[in-house]
Amino acid sequence: MSRKRTPDQPSTDSETPTASEAAASTTVEPPAADAAAPGPSFAERIQQERKGAKLPDPFGIATDALAGVRLFESRQDRQMAIKFDEKPSQDIIDLLKEEGYRWNPRDKIWAHPVRSESARATRIEAEQLYQEVRSMIRHDKGIEAGPEVPF
């Protein structure tokens, strides 16, 4: 039977630690927290949400960097929003107005309210409008149709 050696006891030849004792006696420092660590996982976000932690708002639904258009939803403001990198053509502005979107000069977005009784339909219509606007901008800029990049 071997006994565990403490730092105060001198080493003797008869006391050879086993592999498990050697592993237990070595000190392993925890890795330093990395500043560039990725954000919380999906499970962690759900736990935060259940605890009442706020998630980013507005959150992005889709973006097309080449076309310069993004679709967002803000649950805090209860609205769907489309944001452009540069001013869209008059045809696109007219289409947005027809669909019930209004210009918000403070946030520089085109916004449409989301009402509880029609929230799902509003989200679906916003996605369809985004796809239509995205294809119009790509056509105007002469960019080939490409895959959309979700956030």
Contact status, residue 16 vs residue 2, Cβ threshold 8 Å: yes
In a domain? residue 63: yes
Instruction: Place 147 in a pLDDT band, splitting at 50, 70 and 90.
Output: low
Contact status, residue 111 vs residue 81, Cβ threshold 8 Å: yes
Number of structural domains, the chain? 1
In a domain? residue 51: no
Task: Tell me the two tokens of residue 111.
Answer: 């916004």
In a domain? residue 89: yes
In a domain? residue 88: yes
What is the average pLDDT score of the chain? 76
Task: Give the per-residue pLDDT at 60.
Answer: 83
Taking residue 17's Cβ as centre, other Cβ atoms within 10 Å add up to 15
SS3 2: coil
In a domain? residue 66: yes
In a domain? residue 52: no
**What mean pLDDT comes out for the span 3-7?**
56
Give the residue numbers spanning the domain of 94.
59-150
- CA distance linking residue 77 with residue 73, whole number of Å: 9
**What mean pLDDT comes out for the span 72-94?**
92
Instruction: Place 144 in a pLDDT band, splitting at 50, 70 and 90.
Output: confident
pTM metric for this prediction = 0.59
Task: State pLDDT tens for residues 98-142.
Answer: 999 999 999 899 999 999 888 899 999 999 999 999 999 999 888
Q: Which residues of 97-108 are buried (b: 16+ CB within 10 A; e: fewer)?
A: eebebeeeeeee
In a domain? residue 38: no
More confident call, 24 vs 96: 96
Q: What are phi and psi of 139, to 5 degrees?
A: -65, -45
